[in-house]
Amino acid sequence: MTASLHCAVLPRQPEQLARGSCVGHQQPDLWTSEGSEAREAARNICAGCRARGPCLDWAVAALPASDLAIYAGTSAADRARIRRARRGAA
Ligand code: SF4
C-alpha cells in the first residue's frame, strides 16, 4: 500500500472523517508502515482524533480484510476481532 492510499480511501462521509488527524498529515506513511514504531505513532494519533468513533465504524463495516493499514487505532487483526464480536452481539 502506498502512503497516499490511506487518506484516499477515507470516505467523505461521515463528514468527521474528512477532518481526521491523518488527513493532510506530514507523515501519512505512519498509518501504512509495517514498522512497529510508526504503527504505534499512528495509533497514538488516532487515539486523539475526533473522528475515531465514526472511523472505527466505517473501517469495520467497509474495509476489506486485505487492508493492513491502521484506522481508528486498529490493525486488520483488531478489526477482524471487532467484526466477530459485533456479529456475536447481534
Ligand atoms: S481515527 Fe485515525 S485513521 Fe481514522 S480519521 Fe482519525 S487519524 Fe485517520
How large is the angle between the packed helices 76-89 and 52-62, nearest 10 degrees?
80
CA distance 43 to 69: 11
- Mean of all residue pLDDT scores within the chain: 88
Can you state the angle between helices 36-47 and 52-62, rounded to 10 degrees? 120
**Residue 30 predicted with pLDDT over 70:** yes
**Closest residue CA from atom 3 of ligand 1:** 71
Q: Is the CB of 52 under 6 A from ligand 1?
A: yes
The CA 77 to ligand 1 mean position distance, Å, reads 17
**Does the C-beta of 49 come closer than 6 Å to ligand 1?**
yes
Q: Is 51 in the pocket of ligand 1 (CB under 6 A)?
A: yes
Mean pLDDT on 30-50: 96
Q: Which of 65, 57, 62 is nearest to 86 (CA)?
A: 57
Q: What is the pLDDT of residue 12?
A: 65
Region 9-22 average pLDDT: 78
Domain count along the chain: 1
Secondary structure percentages of the chain, helix, strand, coil, to 5: 60, 0, 40
Instruction: Give residue 32's pLDDT.
Output: 93
Ligand 1: atom nearest CA of 52 is 1
pLDDT in the model for residue 8:
63
Q: Which domain holds residue 22?
A: 3-89
| Shortest-distance atom of ligand 1 to CA 71 | 3
Dump pLDDT digits (tens) for 53-88. 999 999 999 989 999 999 999 999 999 999 999 988
Q: What pLDDT does residue 48 have?
A: 97
